[in-house]
Amino acid sequence: MRMLDSVRESIEAYKKNDPAARSSLEILLLYSGFHATQQHRLAHWLHTHDLKFAARAVSQFTRFTTGVEIHPGAKIGKRLVIDHGSGVVIGETVEIGDDCLIYQGATLGGAGVTCGKRHPTIGNNVMIGSGAKVLGPFKVGDNAKIAANSVVLREVPPDCTVVGIPGHIVRVGGEKLDHTHTPDPIQLEIDALKQRITELENQMKEKA
């Protein structure tokens, strides 16, 4: 029963996050991200019951059929939505909270080859844009948003929006991230420098 409830919740999450989702049957049969997360439940169960080879076999089969690679050791919360899915990679010690949204090409990876916890912990209701890389054993807080193609190498506080390479926090709180109007952190810094130069030039003119 719990498994059926989980499937229903996941289908509703896809309907909520994907305007192209037309029916529950379409999601159930045709959505690769949905298939990847559901098959990961089996892989993770095998992994935690010390059936590591079988777990990796399920994981690799999932990668082959969906284009999504999730290590069996990764811990995934409820209602994860992987939109399109192709190219998504989720490492062994990743932990993902509830109600998260991950777009195609995103990587939740490690930094270096150390043992132990080496992948990020993702809070609840986090959005990770297409092509984004979140690398290292740090926390991404609840309700955070990672813009497309950003590279995040350090902790992200809750309710923040991160943009750029390396990632910079450009917004705390605020509305849903609009990828077509994402702030450019480099341009923001240039604008701030221009404003400071203008202020200094005005001060010099006043003293002249």
3-state secondary structure of 70: strand
Instruction: Report pLDDT for 179.
Output: 57
Per-residue pLDDT band for 20 (boundaries 50, 70, 90) equals confident
The length of the chain, given as a count of residues? 208
Give me the mean pLDDT over the 118-125 stretch: 94
pTM: 0.80
Instruction: Check pLDDT > 80 for residue 95.
Output: yes
d(CA 104, CA 68): 9
CB-based contact 19:12 (threshold 8 Å) = no
- HSE on the CB side for 38, CA within 13 Å? 21
Q: What phi and psi values does residue 107 have, to the nearest 5 degrees?
A: -130, 125
Instruction: Report pLDDT for 176.
Output: 56
Give me the mean pLDDT over the 79-93 stretch: 91
Any idea which of 3-7, 20-24, 151-155, 161-165 has the lowest mean pLDDT?
Answer: 3-7
pLDDT tens, position by position, 148-173: 999 999 999 999 999 888 888 887 77
Domain 2-207: assigned CATH number: 2.160.10.10
Per-residue pLDDT band for 192 (boundaries 50, 70, 90) equals confident
Long-range contacts of 168-177, Cβ-Cβ distance < 8 Å, separation of 24 or more: 176/145, 177/127, 177/129, 177/145, 177/147
Instruction: Report pLDDT for 52.
Output: 93
CB-based contact 87:105 (threshold 8 Å) = yes
How many other C-beta atoms are found inside a 10 Å radius of the C-beta of residue 194?
Answer: 10
Q: What percent of the chain has pLDDT over 90?
A: 55
pLDDT tens, position by position, 60-79: 999 999 999 999 999 999 99
Q: Which two tokens stand for residue 42?
A: 């089996």
Instruction: Report pLDDT for 177.
Output: 55
Instruction: Check pLDDT > 90 for residue 43.
Output: yes
Instruction: Check pLDDT > 90 for residue 44.
Output: yes
d(CA 134, CA 94): 10
Instruction: Check pLDDT > 90 for residue 124.
Output: yes
